[in-house]
Structure 1
């Protein structure tokens, strides 16, 4: 892998991401230092590559989580609200919760109950105060529809590839707000959608990627 951002510890991993200029903001680095990937990744937590977490799901490579937090950092300020679609292991939801603080709220949604239970257990074991104060919550549901009960959101992260522009999620963004999402089927790109204060949406293509598809639970388990 070209990034070479592996580390022997969580701290070394973050140092390498900083050195590679994948993360550049101290708030992002601080959040990733506060949330140890070993609490959420079953093996090789500090290797910069996706890892299977079962049920046809993966925890994304650390550099992709770094990019996501970098692009969303202005919308993860203290007190803001965020949605993490396809939250899987719960790792990125925890990083986002670290950034929004006690007055903020992050909802992670995944359609595999076992993954939601696993992420809930990891959060309660390692960051119990964040669960108690309501800054992070994980729920079972079809993230393709977003999560209307918590809307609107300052930002939305999507951890699986949508086949086309996810209009229902865009409708749940605040104005202004930002969404980071892989889009495409055979050919995928990260697209950042920005909604301005008047509700007008623009998009910016960031990079080519290869994510698992945003699909239903039965197909994901196959």
Structure 2
């Protein structure tokens, strides 16, 4: 798998594009600059890899727009060594960003073929989440909870209560909420029973589906 000067140059231009759109966290920008996004797409679509847009992958899913990946990641305010639950492994690109930032990543994918493909691929390129599972993202991973941070990479028509329950006090969950268009929403758990909710504008995601396992 190649990652030549042309790829690296395109990546730097992508980072500048994302930065101009308002991403300020240098650690997030550095992670995007290091990860060969073209590896996560079919080689015949390599020219699309460093455009700031989402792109279809297997199982009717998409690899998220780089700006969206950066935006969600920045909202997490991730610290090295934190335990992060990712709902929607997809291509593994967001997973790789979290790994680059030093997170202990637990990730769930609901599409079996995509799960198998991405699990093998991440291992091949050296990104190893702590746990990658096939299952229902609405249920989270209660056996590994509580989590410092939770990130949902698909549009949820409502906020899964199980996920809120798996967040540590002081933890942050970033989730796009809505049906046709989603509102990027941040929940900060301020006590065992209370959450601070903040909203950050409209985005579009593939739907978060349940009961797939």
Tell whether the structures are fold-level matches, with TM greater than 0.5.
yes
- Structure 1 residue aligned with 2:132: 138
Which residue of the other structure, out of 159, 165, 179, is the alignment partner of 2:153?
159
- Output the CA distance in 2 between the equivalents of 1:181 and 1:12: 28
Question: 1:119: which partner in 2?
Answer: 118
1:171 matched to 2:165? The reply is yes
Give the alignment's TM-score, normalised by structure 2: 0.87
In structure 1, stretches of 5+ residues that fail to align are 1-6
| Post-superposition offset of 1:216 | 3.6
Alignment partner, residue 95 of structure 2: 93
Consecutive unaligned residues in structure 2, runs of 5 or more: 1-7
Tell me which residue corresponds to 1:58.
Answer: 62
1:32 matched residue in structure 2: 32
Q: Deviations over 1:78-104 (max 9, x none)?
A: 1100011011011101111111x2xx4
1:153-174 Cα offsets, whole Å, 9 max, x none, are 1111111111112211010011
| Aligned CA distance change for structure 1 residues 207 and 122 (closer, same or farther; 3 Å) | same
User: 1:69 offset after TM fit, Å?
Assistant: 1.1
Query: TM-score normalized by structure 1?
Result: 0.83
1:67 is displaced (CA, Å) by 0.3
**What residue number does 1:17 align with?**
18
Among 58, 77, 84, the alignment partner of 2:79 is 77
Offset at residue 29 of structure 1 (A) = 1.1
2:187 aligned with 1:193: yes
Post-superposition CA distance 1:1-37 (Å, at most 9, x none): xxxxxx962222112212332x211111122122221
**Alpha-carbon RMSD:** 1.9
1:150 alignment partner, one of 144, 149, 152: 144
The separation in 2 between residues aligned to 1:217 and 1:41, in whole angstroms, is 27
**2: CA distance between counterparts of 1:106 and 1:207?**
26
Native 8 Å contact 2:150 2:172 kept in 1: yes
